[in-house]
Amino acid sequence: MLQIDRRSELGRSDFRYIVRWREGAHEVEVTRFGAYVRHEATNRVMHLDKRLLEIAEAIDHFNALTPAERSSRKNVWGTLASIAGNARELGARLDRHLDSNLVIVPPTIGLLIRGDENGNVSFLPRLPGEGDSEAFRLEFERALDIQDVMSVTLPDRRVARVLLSEPQREVLRRMRKVRHLPVADVGELLDDPSPIFDGVFDAIDLADISREYGIRVIGIGSLTLPTDVRPVGGPSVFDRMQLSELVPTPQLPLAPPASESAGTGTQRSVVSIDVLEAETGSVHTVRLSGDEAVRRLQGQVRACLADGAEHFLHEGVAIKAEPELVAALDRHISGPVPGREDDVGSVGRSGHLYLLINEHEDSLTPGLEVVPLPDGDVVEAPRSLPLALHDSIKLKSHQLDGVQWLSTCRGMPGRRGAVLADDMGLGKTLQVLVHIALLLESGTALDGLGSDRNGPWRPVLIVAPLLLVESGVWTEEMRSRFANSGRVFEPYVVLRDEGIRKVMHNSGERDYLGKPVLDPAKLMAHKVVITTYETMMAYQHSLAQLVGGRPMWSLVVFDEAQEVKSPKTKQSIAAKALDARFKLAATGTPVETRLRDLWNILDTVEPGRLGTQRAFVTAYERPAMKPNRGSERQAALDALRVAIRYERPGALLIRRDKRILSDLPERIEHRVKCTMTPVEEEIMGRIRADLGSTAGRRQPLAALQRLHLCTQHPVLAGAATGHDVDALIATSARLAQLLKLLREIQVQSEKVLIFARSVDSQRLLARVIAQSLGTQVDIVNGQTGVTGGRATSGTVRREILSRFRATPGFAAIVLSPFVAGVGLTLTEANHVVHYGRWWNPAIENQATDRAHRIGQTKPVHVYYLLGTYRAPEQRSFDEALDDLLRERRDLAHDFLSPVTEDANAELLIQRLGSSARPISLVARMEPTTVSEAAAMLLSLARSRDESAVWLDAEGMYGAHALVARQGVVLVARIVQVDSVEEQQLLLSAQRAWQDALGVRTEGLMLACHGSVDINTKTWKALRLELDSQSSVDPDYLLTPYRSVHDVRERLLRHI
């Protein structure tokens, strides 16, 4: 072992390095000859490796310097950098004083562009380490001259020396010329700073140019998302969702199959594009014939983006306008790449640059400080209300508690955020606005910018769903609940249309190429900024930038925060990139489909508090998914409640339900049975028969969707019937019963909300009700107000809702549960009809709560229309669905118990009593153990040259093994006994791995110790041979997975 000591102090003329060679505890004498050393006691000759030789030569060179040269700062620190770096890598013993000195030798200098609250710009240097960079920037701004060695104090209070070459010093001198200059003076240097560094390009990394963002942002680049543009015949997202066999409605016929229209050669006649529906956020496939059709669609997207709109109408469907869609379409205008059969584009890969973050999947952001929460109680903030609150507004007890809790959380050392998870209808918006008003009145929003009450401020940013912003929910609450029409919040700006243009550096751009285009000085001229999730994504570079090295925002509020419940989505990543003094998530459903939803919301507002995603899943979600192990499940949920300090002062999350409202009128449910017409029974019977067919077993969710459409009206499921109003009523018992019900409500002069899921059903209802009752019936969905390819939906929706509220007496409105089911207050209505139901009770509850909430003065009547067979012994789709939803609603009282749509759909198929098999295939075998079954499965895969991965004892998301074969991944769950609960876990695992890997998956349940019943048709190409146990290769079988990336790399080689 090498030991490096010293004589005297660094920087003194008599300083020298002393080298000692040791064997164990004993020092030995050696003589060096170049790269060789001789052990004098044994005459053994040894060759030094490269690092040892570099250390020895650096020490000999330094010790040979003259006393004056040994005092030179550059020689002192340059030599130490070389010696200490190699010594640490080799594990050599370094003198404590030498080891305590840190020397940084940057290969190049990066460039940071920093803006300030006055709209000025400065060029600042960046070093490789973020902590080192900030300390170096402070010294750069403080120093009078640029020395060849600069001393900087790091965050841990150690002193580091930064060694600079002469070209690097010149780079820093030129950076000093761009300090606190107005944007107009800097001009084109913001886009291309290279002219100012002419002659010293080798000393600056112009590829390392960045604006200043929060600690979680690690770079700028493209996001890898599912394929959105593909030639006809390629696999679509709809294929993977098992929804590709939907029967067309008369209004929206499907295009011919791919095999009938696909082009050949290098010229494609038809292109299919997967886009997002504005109403539901689901994938919709657009088929375009020829380049001209692609150009027209691209022109629509460009026009929509230029107007600051969020969506546009294309062939009757409201489509989200996304910047990357423009670039992705470019490749199909110019033609496919020669020599390639598949011209596949991906969202985010064609010109649009996103902020990239540390996603906390396996590791937390370096430098992210997570201050431990106090073990005992915390000192609660005093109760207070803002002076600006209108005298007529009296907060309820739970709202006063909520405002106090928000102030307590914000005042706790190290706290970054919180989740307000009150049940729908308990007044979360008012609680948040009262908290904001308190911050503004106290001057907190000035946040160190001075005492000028005219700004600039570090504003409050409110991010909300599109409909809530368009409808003016937040601005109306400001005006109606606070004195002087909400003057305390002024000036505020809504980032829509004119509001966006008002705060731009210049018009006509978005953050396409990784540069902010919104002016921070203009944003900070407002106290409150309101925007949508879509605008947050489109302008993420602008909204996430720091100002003066600090977050631009004093508070960020995510309304309906379930919008960011899923990791690896554009909305979630953009939300996590935002930095603020405090971040608040408001949602009535913190857990919608899986327990990880809560982790992701908290990781957005209080990053790192619940650890990494993998640690959370292991500690909480996986045990909570074991319905057969009640004690283990409950222990995991109890531990999670402790981790979030649930029901304790300063909790990470607070939740109250409607049972605390003693004065809330009752909710009365009516289940109205509608005996189906012969046409309905005939169509229903045909679809249920299809469930038992080969196609039905392959696509059971498609058949389930057709059943759902048929219950709303048989014409939506392909029935050949008349389209006039009388014929539509005559063929649908549900529609006839609805009209009877509406006439009764009309007599009472009361208002009714009618929720229907599909656009076709909404249109049918509005037409029939208007003609039958002689009243205007409006629709609020994702297409409302979208005409001529341009979006004017905000104004139209506000007018519709205002007209409904203001109409005296009876009024009916048809609503989409996805668009209008959250955030709106419609207490003018006290009747709610769920016309087309879905298999997630949370959606129904959210929709009902538009009327059943604070402010309601009448009992709320909720109607479920249930189609029934004329023969009472037959069980209908509606009856099976209603029973399932009632069971799930009873289980959902605990907000930590997610309700999965997939599991509900699986159970619904089983309960319909058809001959259809469940989605996941089941095989039984005996006698063997779970481990032996897994071994045989993987051994078989290897013999077939298929790629397989063995998970752990329980398996991620409940799956034990994954096998890649024939273009899909088989998700195999191996259990002792097959059960409905295990089927649910398999279905969840199948969907989770499908999302993670981006390929289609199939499910296989392998039950051990059951009866031998192996169906070769079910197994298809995958056969289980019991006599293959002897050929098991343990090294192959027990290959553990390390991450989703590892799984992907291993499996996708064979797809």
pLDDT in tens, 577-610: 999 999 999 998 898 778 899 999 999 999 999 9
Q: How far is CA 645 from CA 406, 415, 641, in A?
A: 14, 13, 6
Longest CA pairwise span in the chain (Å): 113
Residues 752 and 873 reside in one and the same domain: yes
Q: What is the pLDDT of residue 845?
A: 84
With respect to residue 513, please indicate whether it lies within any of the assigned structural domains.
yes
Tokens 């379409």 map to which residue? Answer: 329
Counting the structural domains of the chain, the total is: 6
Last residue of a domain, one of 610, 628, 643: 610
Order the strands of the 283-289 sheet from edge to edge: 283-289, 270-276, 227-231, 345-346
Nearest CA to 998 out of 959, 967, 956 is that of 967
Q: What is the pLDDT of residue 1042?
A: 38
Q: Which residue range is the domain that position 151 belongs to?
A: 109-211
Last residue of a domain, one of 300, 320, 345: 345
Task: Check residues 683 and 272 and name the one with the higher pLDDT.
Answer: 683
Give ∠ CA 519-523-529 in degrees, rounded to 5.
140
The tens digit of pLDDT for each residue in 428-485 reads 999 999 999 999 998 877 665 555 567 788 999 999 998 889 888 999 999 999 999 9
Q: How far is CA 369 from CA 133, 293, 364, 415, 547, in A?
A: 18, 52, 10, 10, 21
With respect to residue 30, please indicate whether it lies within any of the assigned structural domains.
yes
Residues 113 and 86 reside in one and the same domain: no
Residues 517 and 600 reside in one and the same domain: yes
Give ∠ CA 216-222-227 in degrees, rounded to 5.
125
- Among 111-125, 376-390, 945-959, 1033-1047, top mean pLDDT goes to 376-390
SS3 string, 428-494, reads HHHHHHHHHHHHHHHCHHHCCCCCCCCCCCCCEEEEECHHHHHCCHHHHHHHHHEHHHHHHHCCEEE
990 close to 971: Cβ distance less than 8 angstroms = yes
Q: How far is CA 285 from CA 254, 317, 344, 814, in A?
A: 10, 10, 15, 25
7 close to 19: Cβ distance less than 8 angstroms = no
Task: Check residues 1000 and 777 and name the one with the higher pLDDT.
Answer: 777
At residue 735, φ and ψ (nearest 5 deg) are -65, -40
For residues 103 and 396, give the distance between their C-alpha atoms in angstroms, rounded to a whole number: 60
Residues 145 and 85 reside in one and the same domain: no
With respect to residue 653, please indicate whether it lies within any of the assigned structural domains.
no
For residues 356 and 348, give the distance between their C-alpha atoms in angstroms, rounded to a whole number: 12
pLDDT class for 920, splitting at 50, 70, 90? very low
865 close to 674: Cβ distance less than 8 angstroms = yes
Percent of the chain at pLDDT > 90 equals: 25
Residues 527 and 442 reside in one and the same domain: yes
Residues 7 and 80 reside in one and the same domain: yes
306 close to 318: Cβ distance less than 8 angstroms = no
For range 324-353, the mean pLDDT: 44
Give ∠ CA 419-424-428 in degrees, rounded to 5.
50
Residues 424 and 513 reside in one and the same domain: yes
Q: What is the pLDDT of residue 432?
A: 97
For range 992-999, the mean pLDDT: 64
Neighbours of 808 (CB within 10 A): 6
The rounded Cα 853 to chain-centroid distance in angstroms is 29
Residues 737 and 856 reside in one and the same domain: yes
At residue 443, φ and ψ (nearest 5 deg) are 80, 5
The tens digit of pLDDT for each residue in 787-822 reads 444 445 567 778 888 899 999 999 999 998 877 666
Residues 982 and 946 reside in one and the same domain: yes
At residue 345, φ and ψ (nearest 5 deg) are -110, 160
Residue 556 belongs to a domain with what CATH number? 3.40.50.10810
Residue 788 belongs to a domain with what CATH number? 3.40.50.300
Last residue of a domain, one of 564, 589, 610: 610
With respect to residue 549, please indicate whether it lies within any of the assigned structural domains.
yes
pTM over 0.85: no
Residues 11 and 155 reside in one and the same domain: no
Residues 798 and 870 reside in one and the same domain: yes
Residue 942 belongs to a domain with what CATH number? 3.40.1350
Task: Check residues 304 and 966 and name the one with the higher pLDDT.
Answer: 304
With respect to residue 438, please indicate whether it lies within any of the assigned structural domains.
yes
Count, in order, helices (H) and strands (E) of the chain: 40, 44
Structure tokens, 38: 């001789």
Residue 618: Cβ-neighbour burial (10 angstroms; 0-12, 13-18, 19+): middle
Tokens 């979600």 map to which residue? Answer: 621
- Crossing angle of helices 1044-1051 and 980-997, in 10° steps, is 80
Residues 444 and 519 reside in one and the same domain: yes
The tens digit of pLDDT for each residue in 40-99 reads 888 888 888 888 888 889 999 999 999 888 888 889 998 998 888 888 888 888 888 888
For range 372-388, the mean pLDDT: 87
Q: What is the pLDDT of residue 798?
A: 80
With respect to residue 798, please indicate whether it lies within any of the assigned structural domains.
yes
Neighbours of 569 (CB within 10 A): 17
pLDDT class for 883, splitting at 50, 70, 90? confident
With respect to residue 681, please indicate whether it lies within any of the assigned structural domains.
no
Structure tokens, 912: 């319909």
With respect to residue 259, please indicate whether it lies within any of the assigned structural domains.
yes
Q: What CA dihedral angle connects 759, 761, 762 and 768, to 10 degrees?
A: 150
897 close to 633: Cβ distance less than 8 angstroms = no
